[in-house]
Copies of this chain bind each other. A is one copy, B any other.
Amino acid sequence: MAPHAEPEALTDTSAIVLNDPVLSNGETHPIFTLDDVLPHRQKSTPPSRGVAAFSEADMFKSKGALKEPKAKRWDHRLSAESRARTASSLKGAMKFFKPDTISLCGGLPSSDYFPFEELSAKVPIVPKFSEDETAKSGKHFSSGKYDAREGKSFLDLSIALNYGQAMGPGALVRFLTEHTEIVHHPPYSDWDVCLTAGSTSALEIALRMFTEKGHYVLTEEYTFSTAIETVSPLGCKMLGINMDADGMLPDHLDNVLSTWDESARKAPKPFLVYTVPTGQNPTASTQSLERRRQLYTLAEKHDLFILEDEPYYFLQMDSYVSGQTHSVPTPFKPAAVADFLGNLVPSYLSIDTSGRVLRLDSFSKIIAPGSRCGWVTGSKQIVERFMRHNEVSAQNPAGFAMIHLYNLLEENWGHRGFLEWLMYIRAEYTRRRDIIINACEQHLPTEICSWVAPRAGMFHWVKVDVTKHPLYESRRKPDGSVDHPTLLKIEEAMFLAAAEQSVLIARGSWFRAQRGSDTELFFRTTFAAAPADKMVEAVRRVGTAIRKEFDLDATPGASQNGHAR
């Protein structure tokens, strides 16, 4: 990959403020905004308060959204497994349920026997988001067993803690439908949402929906290691597309697909793309709007289907300035939400006129991984197939997670508070990004280490000039390269040298889409986990480890700062 290319300007803000959507018949309809939520709710039917009640995005969409054209059909892209899925017999019986019906059908345990009378949480009130402020002034939100039945809310323990329909409870489907309109306003009408047990679960389901044994999945040349480890046991292979700091390179993708030789490759032409467009894991590359448009055009040309995995979408940052650290004021003062939204690079979902994108969102990185809760958004056909699989695997996110998320998002924060929270953690991660990059500038040997400062996400990807390693010189082949085992040996030595200094870093080869094809040396660090001072100390130690391992002079940066030991 070419991480040194000067990144394109992420966004030209003027280009991103989207105009009101133009329909195929030439009409426009106004974009749904935060201010439209309340009036829209006031004239719409609220979510059902029944146990295991059916819901779908269409119940909660704005009129404008429903006017868009329909998505294409994807029957030719679905796997035999996905096509073979049938609806649950037992859940199907619910269509005969009338208000006076008594069900002896589904084995839903009586809520009399849920040993939880009330659940509550102490959560931050907008905008007092920091841990200290929450400890002082956070508010308790509670849910009783029968709040919904008593008209106090749309989700209570008797609903959330019982079995439910595969898409999740109506109260959360409504919230996510509105969120999708506010943030993405998809350019087709028949999209739907389904809650997931997190994006790891959603990705596995999606892969099984679209792949057969022997298929290739297109992705960035370095990609999320867990995705590689999910694809491989299915008998499929990742096919890495070359990338720069703006992600996958359209020319290379086009070339791979245009010259695909099925018999030479012993595989059909690939059509499934797995991509993390924003703050990509591990490289932190973030696709500009221009890049997304180019790749989407190729998706139309080659009839691709895109899995848009976006856990870090809202962690898009202001540019890094060497030596500076963005501060996060306490209490946090959110800027205008419209500016925040206007400055996010538009998603694939928001440019997807054909419905060829399944977007994976997750609460893991923006609320907590332990929510094991996310959601997918895509065409109704695709989301329906997804649900058929979901209901025979994880079924639903845990009710304990859903009730707490409902109280936080719907009863406490609302959409505006949620977006302000996202602005807050984006600011926090920006500060952390600044701290780690400043530390790298100070403590890593820049004669062999290079990087592009991340503009999104949680990761920092560092290239190390492997040719400067003593072992490289001794094993250099006539063409200037070394064999792969040597490369891995150097990488391992670097990893162990860091571990010897009591720092864990992630090895670049773990993320190589086609494992075993590395020719360069990288490591990934995260600025999400360790406290700021530990992060700086860890980078200092990594600098020491690399200098030792590469036989460089002792660490000038560290000694200047009195850290040398």
Contacts and interface: CB of A to CB of B under 8 A. Distances in A.
B504 A197 contact: no
A331 to B, nearest CB: 14
A93 interface: yes
Interface residues of A, number: 120
A535 to B, nearest CB: 7
Given A408-B115, A425-B113, A104 B281 contact: no
A80 interface: yes
A202 B118 CA distance: 28
A134 B121 contact: no
Contacts of A164: 370
A396 B408 contact: no
Contacts of A81: 233-235
Contacts of A225: 88-90
A163 interface: yes
Given A108-B528, A393-B201, A160 B370 contact: yes
A537 to B, nearest CB: 7
Contact of A106 (B163, B389, B526): B526
A217 to B, nearest CB: 14
Given A119-B121, A502-B100, A510-B89, A370 B399 contact: yes
Contacts of A530: 102-104, 110
Given A86-B232, A93-B506, A116-B123, A399 B371 contact: yes
A554 to B, nearest CB: 21
Given A105-B506, A392-B200, A226 B124 contact: no
Give the most central of A130, A499, A505: most B CB within 10 Å: A499
Interface in A476-530: 496, 499, 502-507, 510, 524-530
Given A81-B235, A96-B504, A398-B371, A529 B104 contact: yes
Contacts of A283: none
A506 B421 CA distance: 46
A392 B113 contact: no
A449 interface: no
Contact of A397 (B86, B229, B398, B539): B398
Nearest to A96: B499
Interface stretch (A246-254, A316-324, A361-369): A361-369
Give the most central of A107, A226, A528: most B CB within 10 Å: A107
Contacts of A105: 504-506, 524-526
Contacts of A393: 200-201, 204, 393-394
A160 B502 CA distance: 25
A61 interface: no
Give the most central of A145, A164, A404: most B CB within 10 Å: A404
A349 interface: no
A408 B365 CA distance: 27
Contacts of A200: 391-395
A370 B398 contact: yes
A398 B395 contact: no
A401 interface: yes
A98 interface: yes
Given A102-B534, A399-B370, A506 B197 contact: no
B392 A372 contact: no
A423 interface: no
A145 B134 CA distance: 11
B107 A528 contact: yes
B404 A502 contact: no
A392 B115 contact: no
A101 interface: yes
A275 interface: no
A12 to B, nearest CB: 30
Contact of A398 (B365, B373, B528): B373
Contacts of A398: 197, 370-373, 397-398, 400-401
Nearest to A113: B425
Nearest to A234: B81
A496 B101 CA distance: 13
Contact of A372 (B109, B367, B394): B394
14 contacts: A84-B232, A89-B507, A96-B499, A103-B503, A104-B542, A105-B526, A109-B364, A110-B529, A131-B145, A161-B368, A197-B394, A200-B392, A371-B399, A393-B394
List the 8 shortest-distance A-B pairs measured between CB atoms, nearest first: A370-B399, A161-B370, A398-B398, A89-B510, A104-B525, A105-B504, A372-B398, A161-B368
Given A104-B504, A372-B372, 7 more contacts: A90-B225, A103-B504, A104-B505, A104-B530, A111-B368, A370-B402, A400-B404
